[in-house]
Structure 1
Amino acid sequence: MTSLIRRSGPFAHRNARLFVLFRVLYNARAYYPILAIFFTDLGLTLDQFVMLNFIWAAAIFLLEVPSGALADTLGRKRLLVISSAIMVVEMGILLFAPKDGGWLLLALCGLNRFLSGASEAAASGADEAIAYDSIPEEGRESAWDEVMATTMRWQAVGFLIAMSIGGLMYDPSWLLNLFPGFSFSESAAHRLPVALVFCQAILCLVITLRLEEQGHGDDKVGESCSSALHLTLRTAKHAFTTPKIAMVIVGGLLVDSVIRNFATINSEYYRLIGIPEWTFGFVGSAIAVGNWFVPGIAKRVNHRFPPLSALAIAGGVAIVALAALVPAWPWFGLLPAILLMSLLGFIGFTVSRFLHGVADSSQRATLLSVKGLAFNLGYGLWSLAFSLLLAGMRDRGDDAGAFQAALLWQVGIVAALVIPYFAWAKWKERRAA
């Protein structure tokens, strides 16, 4: 972290420094600790909210790889500027979405999820690629490890601040205690975390405008789009016909999709185990503190084990944590939730490190976008399956009982997918050796 402050090592170039700032402001969003209950308090049901996340994933499925290819042809900076501008619009929609607005509310929330997915697709791969290519080729791999580790640690600090503020902002009673001279309605308080992220979106736009393009991109849009199509098809074919790349991507998405689905509904889980709403942000902060140690753990594990083995370890830990969620123990149920969320950084580090090692510079953003496409498609399909599972369980009881029953079914389904897959993948890896 000191090298970032001193602007030394890999952070001597502006792009690497701006990459860290962009990642922190783009990802550490104050509404994350109350994301699910924000939408349900607006008037949506939990299964509607989970279904909306399928729209988010569908947007990425449609736009992820083309945006990565366009980043390699039209320019990484242009895609990042577009991503930030879309973020400004998507947060503006949430600021003014009507409470209990029926179909209008559902339509606006659906548009928000689509734009959010489009923004993620435009940024995915392009941000890493523009930073990676700014690092001198000599010692680039070890330098990139330092950049990623530093980014994850600063993100942990960003999440620590954003999570704490977001949870408190959502509770009007805390605002009245902090500002006794002001009057805050519940509806107004619920919008404050979104307003803060709206400001972050504006800062992201300013940051991306200051990035320096690293020789990628041209002004011939027609030729660039044609090149993008060919690059997309060629890179996707390479990724999924190369066993060592395909097995790592699929192994990562199997675990990542389940954890990310839980990450979007964790505030409903906190309600289930009886945690007061004002503490949600502090729970997110505890997760951020835990994530401070994830890069070091991930580096040691990845230096000792190959990527598939590292992902298999993450899969085993995830199954244990998912099983520990089911009893919904008051307060104690936070431990498996925190453990589960910490695995996201571990998986991201493992897959990113592997793909950067096998990617050519000219296809780097596209290959990372192929990974993003696969991960978000897996997340979308799991969100769709979980929303249908929730809807089916609701016919048998109340919302809380349906949610807990869905968590139970989830454990068996995940174990039936993850354990056989990694056993098969390791067998294939040994045969290829």
Structure 2
Amino acid sequence: MITADAARRRYVAIAFLTWLPAGLYTAPLVLLMLDRGLSLGAIAAIGAVYSITIVVLELPTGGLSDVLGRRPVLAASAVAGLAGLALLGLTGAVWLLVLSAVLRGVARALSSGPAEAWYVDAVHAAQGRDADLGPGLARGGVAASAALGLGVLAGGLIPFLWPGAATGDPAVPDTVPSGLAVPVLLAAVCELVLLLVVLFGMPEARGSRPRFGAVLRGVPATVGTGLRLAGRDHVLVRVLLVAAATGTGLAVIELLTPAWMAVLSGGAGRGVLAYALVAAIGFAADAAGSALGVPLTRWLGSPGRAACAGTVLAALALGGLAGTAALDGWVGVVAAGAAYLLMFLGLGAAVAPVGRLLHDRVEAGERATVLSVQSLLLQLGAAAGSVALGALAAAYGPGPAFAGAGLLLAGAALTLWGLPRRRGVRPRALLLRHVGPRIPARDRPREDRIPRS
């Protein structure tokens, strides 16, 4: 068993390495496949394969982590990510790019939950169920956002700094990889580093290893238990509702902002630069917000209020984006950047308190499954938001779509205010009903005194 401080440090490192590859390959992804002769339709189909793989495997992989263990599942995620990114960086064949999308989707589904579940399990083992999870969850959020921000900036800059990358200089030997492929290959190297960190720096309690057949039988049962818990626990229902609404808001941002930036800045080239700057501001604000989650919880007195406040701020920022849709030129870009900053600041501030609400309602054997349910609902919310609010934006412009996403997110956020933290904490009236009328402490035996909750 390791100490809580050691678990926190390792969790932060794993969170950083988990999200750094995604940041590195996101910026050049579409341009790399266009450079290899694929059409936009083919690229969209490959992206759909990636998304469908995640949705299909999200719950089974969470159940697998609860049955088999956190470390083997996260190690398998790193192996799948390494293979998928190596294919993406080195091949141009369509069927191999489809295989790459499947492997990257498998990696994403496998990595959804095990690291956070391992950290919570380790802290509970070291300090008990009353341990404060907030600081570690907040630092993990900071690390993930910093990794995405640094990765996106590096992934955007490396292709232009690589020999012959910007002009396709024929003097550059064929043995030199395309500048667009370099960030992808660096992302594969990061997956290798993650694999080593997981194998050698993520200790897990040794137990009897289940047989393969037992694993296959145990996963559906674990998934079913997690789903039933998520559906009947009123706190988890509200947390998961916020996840779905957050997915809708993020989908609208990712769908509409790039083209909108091109319109505001006066061209596609300037639009790419404007969107890169706005996205970097968003990731930096998300990291700052994650660091503010714990102090915000202390100031407001409960994780429910802190999660509500952060998410409402994000919803108001979406409303602000709707207002900036009426602005033109770089004034509109600056205003959109300010709204982006506030939105991701709010979402980041909600990470730690939402995590505390969730983990205080689940046990170790169902933790990764419930995290997978949360991730699945975020993605389903994103899919629904892309379709519904995308159609709204096509008909009436981006303003109504941003406003609709903000209203949905605000409505979900308000359900978090005043939520209890611990499962099983009952109101005073119910407690008195079960233990009878209150007897003064001096008149009852010591062993019969009821501890204060």
Question: Normalised by the shorter chain, which TM-score bucket?
Answer: 0.7 to 0.9
**Gap runs ≥5 in structure 1:** 1-7, 99-103, 394-401
Q: Summarize the Cα distance change of 1:62–1:418 in structure 2 as closer, same or farther, 3 Å threshold.
A: same
Q: Render the CA deviation track for 1:346-382: whole Å, top value 9, x for unaligned.
A: 3433332211111112211122122122222222333
Quick check: 1:386–1:406 contact (8 Å CA) kept in 2? no
Quick check: 1:54–1:383 contact (8 Å CA) kept in 2? no
Of 11, 30, 37, the match for 1:19: 11
Matches within 5 A, 1:321-336: 321-324=320-323, 326-327=325-326, 329-330=329-330, 331-332=333-334, 333-336=336-339
Q: Render the CA deviation track for 1:42-76: whole Å, top value 9, x for unaligned.
A: 66677876675554343222211111111111121
Alignment pair present for 1:193 and 2:183: yes
User: Which structure exhibits the higher relative contact order, with contacts defined as CA atoms closer than 8 Å and separated by 6 or more residues?
Assistant: 1
Of 79, 89, 93, the match for 1:95: 89
Q: CA RMSD in A?
A: 4.0
Residue number in structure 2 paired with 1:150? 139
Matches within 5 A, 1:5-154: 10-13=4-7, 16-28=8-20, 29-34=23-28, 53-98=47-92, 105=94, 110-135=98-123, 136-138=125-127, 142-154=131-143
Task: State the 1:342 CA deviation.
Answer: 3.9
TM-score, length of structure 2 as denominator length: 0.74
Q: Summarize the Cα distance change of 1:427–1:10 in structure 2 as closer, same or farther, 3 Å threshold.
A: closer
Structure exhibiting the larger radius of gyration computed from Cα positions: 2
User: Hey, what's the Cα distance between the residues in 2 that align with 1:145 and 1:427?
Assistant: 18
Q: Summarize the Cα distance change of 1:56–1:420 in structure 2 as closer, same or farther, 3 Å threshold.
A: same
User: Hey, what's the Cα distance between the residues in 2 that align with 1:322 and 1:114?
Assistant: 34
Quick check: 1:251–1:421 contact (8 Å CA) kept in 2? yes
Alignment pair present for 1:371 and 2:342: no
Task: State the 1:148 CA deviation.
Answer: 1.9
User: Hey, what's the Cα distance between the residues in 2 that align with 1:45 and 1:350?
Assistant: 43
Task: State the 1:272 CA deviation.
Answer: 4.2
Alignment pair present for 1:206 and 2:196: yes
Alignment pair present for 1:410 and 2:409: no
AA paired with 1:131?
Answer: Y
Quick check: 1:52–1:113 contact (8 Å CA) kept in 2? yes
User: Hey, what's the Cα distance between the residues in 2 that align with 1:217 and 1:50?
Assistant: 44
User: Hey, what's the Cα distance between the residues in 1 that align with 2:317 and 2:37?
Assistant: 32
Quick check: 1:218–1:224 contact (8 Å CA) kept in 2? no
Quick check: 2:249–2:385 contact (8 Å CA) kept in 1? yes
User: Hey, what's the Cα distance between the residues in 1 that align with 2:45 and 2:341?
Assistant: 24
Question: Matched residue of 1:73: which SS?
Answer: helix
User: Hey, what's the Cα distance between the residues in 2 that align with 1:226 and 1:406?
Assistant: 50
TM-score, length of structure 1 as denominator length: 0.77
Question: Matched residue of 2:181: which SS?
Answer: helix
Task: State the 1:384 CA deviation.
Answer: 4.5
**Range with bigger deviation, 309-318 or 118-127:** 309-318
User: Hey, what's the Cα distance between the residues in 2 that align with 1:10 and 1:123?
Assistant: 22
Residue number in structure 1 paired with 2:312? 313
Q: Render the CA deviation track for 1:150-195: whole Å, top value 9, x for unaligned.
A: 2233345434533332221132589889xx9x94999922222212
User: Hey, what's the Cα distance between the residues in 2 that align with 1:109 and 1:346?
Assistant: 37
Task: State the 1:246 CA deviation.
Answer: 0.7
User: Hey, what's the Cα distance between the residues in 2 that align with 1:386 and 1:47?
Assistant: 21
**Range with bigger deviation, 155-164 or 225-234:** 155-164
Quick check: 1:73–1:224 contact (8 Å CA) kept in 2? yes
User: Hey, what's the Cα distance between the residues in 2 that align with 1:422 and 1:164?
Assistant: 31
Task: State the 1:236 CA deviation.
Answer: 0.3
Residue number in structure 1 paired with 2:423? none
AA paired with 1:369?
Answer: S
User: Hey, what's the Cα distance between the residues in 2 that align with 1:353 and 1:217?
Assistant: 30
Residue number in structure 2 paired with 1:298? 293
Q: Render the CA deviation track for 1:204-240: whole Å, top value 9, x for unaligned.
A: 1222222222346723121122122111111101111
Residue number in structure 1 paired with 2:239? 248
User: Hey, what's the Cα distance between the residues in 1 that align with 2:121 and 2:142?
Assistant: 21
Task: State the 1:145 CA deviation.
Answer: 1.8
Q: Render the CA deviation track for 1:383-426: whole Å, top value 9, x for unaligned.
A: 45466678xx4xxxxxxxx9xx6533422442463455556x47
Question: Matched residue of 2:203: which SS?
Answer: coil
Alignment pair present for 1:168 and 2:140: no
Q: Summarize the Cα distance change of 1:45–1:355 in structure 2 as closer, same or farther, 3 Å threshold.
A: farther
Q: What is the aligned length?
A: 402
